[in-house]
Amino acid sequence: MGTRDGGKAFLDAAGGVAAVTRKEKTVAIATINPATGETLKTYDEMSEADVDGRLAAAATAHASYRLTSFEDRARWMRRAAGILDDEQEQVAVMMTTEMGKTLTSARQEVAKCARACRFYADHAESFLADEAADPDAAGVESAYVRYQPLGPVLAIMPWNFPLWQAMRFAAPALMAGNVGLLKHASNVPQTALFLQDLFARAGFPTGTFQTLLISSRRVEPVLRDDRVVAATLTGSAAAGQSVASIASRVIKRVVLELGGSDPFIVMPSADLPEAARIGAFARCINNGQSCIAAKRFIVVDEIYDEFARQFTEQMAAKVVGDPMDRETDVGPLASEKQRDRIEKQVADAVAKGAKVLWGPPRLTAVASIIRRPCWPASPPTCASTPKRSSARLPRCIGSATSRRHWTSPMAASSDWARMRGQATKRRRTGSSGILLPG
């Protein structure tokens, strides 16, 4: 995919698309603790021969794995769930160390992955059972739809939920008889390698699930390889466009889960204290780094000031600190690049007329262990953000992490209203939304 500067467009570590010149820099595959800035582990990229060997192993494994029974796959998947249960603390600490999510939320993520393993172990066979069709319509004695495995599937996953994003692909894909190739974000290599080891220890045949330690610029050749039959990506719209474009040229199936700019709409009949409490929680999920977090807070004028006050109080009460501490609500952002981006968005909004309701200076130290942190200010909250600012939130309460665009085809909304009519009318006129009672 060409660019104007003659370079290549490729998927960056967070699932976006980056452009580089011909003098490409090597992307570090490393664990860098965002709470301290300390580089804990670094990994060399796999050679072309190593990648080819893994693709060959995936194709070989699928030839026999596709014939295994649901009973066998379910047994291995339940073992994987058991390993996650037994090693929950170690895995949670690993995720927190790699990308900064609070240890509490990391433990919840591990438990959620174990539940997913058991869910698909229990239900995959019924989900994929033959479906009867009308034989008369086809002029035959019997007709049915049968679901069969596809083959090796490439998964390009982001860092924000490093275990869950990969598991929600891996569990159903493996139970369906496919094999997996994981290209994870470059800042969570330990989690990526753990997933490969997890399924091997659970008993899945060799080559059934493998991790590719490669930079994002090397994704395209893998996606084009004939041994890869499909791909899935969780990331930005730009990343989805890139993958879909490549896959369409070689006629391969693609599943995309792309980011949006989700509105949180507060109507006059809403329970304001509850809406403010849930709104602050929804904004700060995963240190504010979640595709389903509330991003645009749109409030009806007559309740705007009161909601702004209560929402600001809730945000100010959030404890920003060491992600390993049980009392911490918000840990560091995943990288210094992420932190700097947020600060620029806040500055841009303020320069164009926004009023900062809450947000102290950048935290330079939160605990004695923190030396070179990726901490933002305590969750910044802006009001009446100008339409042309980076945090484009007309007549609303906005966080600095808000996306640039007012609308997004991938956005989902939360509507807070006690009166069914208000929320229903909003749903009829809006293009997307999730209705939540106030």
The domains of the chain are located at 8-126+147-258, 263-437
Query: What per-residue confidence (pLDDT) applies to 393?
Result: 35
Query: What per-residue confidence (pLDDT) applies to 1?
Result: 30
Select the more confidently predicted residue: 371 or 204.
204
- The pLDDT confidence band at residue 384, using thresholds 50, 70 and 90, is low
* Candidate from 70-74, 205-209, 220-224, 410-414 with smallest mean pLDDT: 410-414
Q: What percent of the chain shows pLDDT beyond 70?
A: 76
Query: What per-residue confidence (pLDDT) applies to 362?
Result: 56
Q: Which residues are catalytic?
A: 257, 291
Mark residue 95 as left, alpha or beta (left: phi above 0; alpha: psi -120 to 50; beta: remaining).
Answer: alpha
pLDDT per position as a tens digit, 402-411: 333 334 444 4
Mean pLDDT of 221-236: 96
Query: What per-residue confidence (pLDDT) applies to 26?
Result: 52
Determine if the pTM surpasses 0.85: no
Select the more confidently predicted residue: 347 or 393.
347
Give alpha helix (H) positions in 331-380. 336-351
CA angle 87, 91, 93 (to 5 degrees): 120
Mean pLDDT of 102-118: 98
Mean pLDDT of 107-118: 98
Q: Is the pLDDT of residue 390 over 90?
A: no
Q: Is the pLDDT of residue 369 over 60?
A: no
- The pLDDT confidence band at residue 220, using thresholds 50, 70 and 90, is very high
Q: How far apart are CA 364 and CA 142, in angstroms?
A: 70
Query: What per-residue confidence (pLDDT) applies to 236?
Result: 87
The answer to whether 408 and 426 have CB atoms below 8 angstroms apart is no
Q: What percent of the chain shows pLDDT beyond 90?
A: 65
Mean pLDDT value across the chain: 82
* Candidate from 22-26, 249-253, 265-269, 410-414 with smallest mean pLDDT: 22-26
Mean pLDDT of 204-219: 96
Select the more confidently predicted residue: 228 or 416.
228
- The pLDDT confidence band at residue 335, using thresholds 50, 70 and 90, is confident
Q: Is the pLDDT of residue 373 over 50?
A: no
Query: What per-residue confidence (pLDDT) applies to 426?
Result: 52
Mean pLDDT of 24-34: 77
Q: Is the pLDDT of residue 435 over 50?
A: no
**Residues recorded for the chain:** 438
- The pLDDT confidence band at residue 421, using thresholds 50, 70 and 90, is low
Mean pLDDT of 201-216: 97
Question: Domain 8-126+147-258 - what CATH class?
Answer: alpha beta
Mean pLDDT of 250-259: 94
C-beta atoms surrounding 408 within 10 Å: 20
First CA to last CA distance, the chain: 47
Mark residue 251 as left, alpha or beta (left: phi above 0; alpha: psi -120 to 50; beta: remaining).
Answer: left
Which of 253, 403, 379 shows the shortest CA–CA distance to 316?
379
Q: How far apart are CA 88 and CA 335, in angstroms?
A: 24
Q: Is the pLDDT of residue 4 over 90?
A: no
Query: What per-residue confidence (pLDDT) applies to 176?
Result: 98
Question: Domain 263-437 - what CATH class?
Answer: alpha beta
Structure tokens at 385: 């953000």
Quote the crossing angle between the two packed helices 103-127 and 164-175, to the nearest 10°: 20
